[in-house]
Structure 1
Amino acid sequence: MAAKIDLTLDSADTQALAAFWKTALGYVDEPPPAPFETREEWFAQFGLPEDDSVDDGAWLCDPDGVGPRLCILKVPEPKTAKNRLHIDIRVPGHGSSDERWARIRAESERLVRAGGTVLEFFDGHHVLMADPEGNEFCVGAAPA
């Protein structure tokens, strides 16, 4: 059996970044692990300093259970360089290259309205973007 992975993003504003990625990926807030009823209960078990808050983290999951879990954690330092790993969002559907490119462009426009930024167009292939905190990701077509 292959290992499962989580992807973790550092953040200055975890809740705002979580809202963007829920919109981008169609993810939802992950329920707290059993036997905990709330994330606050789960968080309290760690005995962390009082200035740490459950809102300093967000845990997102694919509602279909297919994609990797996404953890967003508050850190004090800002992003300073290009990501060494980034997320590729694959737009579904088949058709001509013009039809695929139109879907990629439409998805990048939707993500701009959600708070993302277009960094560069690679015409006919993919769009390089950044989330609201500058983390790079690409929007492209799903493999045919």
Structure 2
Amino acid sequence: MTPFQLTFDCADPTVMVRFWANALGYEAEPAPTGFSDWNAYWRSAGVSEEKPVGDGCGSIVDPRGTGPRIWFQPVPEGKSVKNRLHLDIRASGGREVPLAIRKERIDAEVLRLVKAGATRLRVLAPEDHDHYAVVMQDPEGNEFCLA
């Protein structure tokens, strides 16, 4: 396997780190060894004092070490079109779980993430399919699904 990270362009890495760490059960990535915090690291890497780095932490990691690192890269422009890539968060327990229970689990996760700053957009539940999902947006408008 080739190691990879996911990168979100964003306006406010601090907000995105907080939201996505909560949504995925991740944690803010600690500063590299030898640095008191991320600001010290970024300044040592040549990022000028004029360039804001917020609290310096723009990444989250899976505490179990199995999921990819996710980095939130600050960019000046806002999101303007639909994502070409999105995350599907598996909140239901999978198809072996009865549909009614999957719906309850997903709906509970929708409520939790709305309280954390997400927006509920629409339900995906075709009448003739054993499927239920909810399309959401994170605090900066990036779409993701709860399935």
1:51-66 correspondence to structure 2 within 5 Å: 51-55=50-54, 58-66=58-66
Query: Does the CA-based 8 Å contact 1:61-1:68 persist in structure 2?
Result: yes
List aligned pairs for 1:1-144, cutoff 5 A: 2-55=1-54, 58-91=58-91, 93=93, 95-123=97-125, 124-140=131-147
Calculate the TM-score normalised by the size of structure 1. 0.88
Higher strand share: 1
Structure 1 stretches of 5 or more lacking a match? none
Percent of aligned positions that are identical? 42
Q: 2:100 and 2:17 mapped to 1: Cα distance?
A: 32
Question: Helix, strand or coil: the match of 1:95?
Answer: coil
- Cα gap change, 1:139 to 1:103, in 2 (>3 Å): same
Q: Distance in 2 between matches of 1:15 and 1:139?
A: 23
**CA deviation profile, 1:32-68 (whole Å, cap 9, x unmatched):** 2334342122112222222223326511101111111
SS in 2 for 1:129: strand
- Tell me which amino acid in the other structure corresponds to 1:8: T
Aligned length in residues:
139
2:47 & 2:23 partners in 1: Cα distance?
31
- The RMSD of aligned alpha carbons is 1.6
- Please state whether the residue corresponding to 1:91 is helix, strand or coil: coil
Gaps in structure 2 of 5+ consecutive residues: 126-130
Amino acid across the alignment from 1:110 = R
- Following superposition, the deviation at residue 26 of structure 1 comes to 1.3
Which residue identity does 1:23 align to in structure 2? N
In structure 2, what is the Cα distance between the partners aligned to 1:95 and 1:59?
Answer: 33
Matching residue's letter, 2:63 = P
Structure 1 Cα separation of the partners of residues 39 and 124 of structure 2: 43
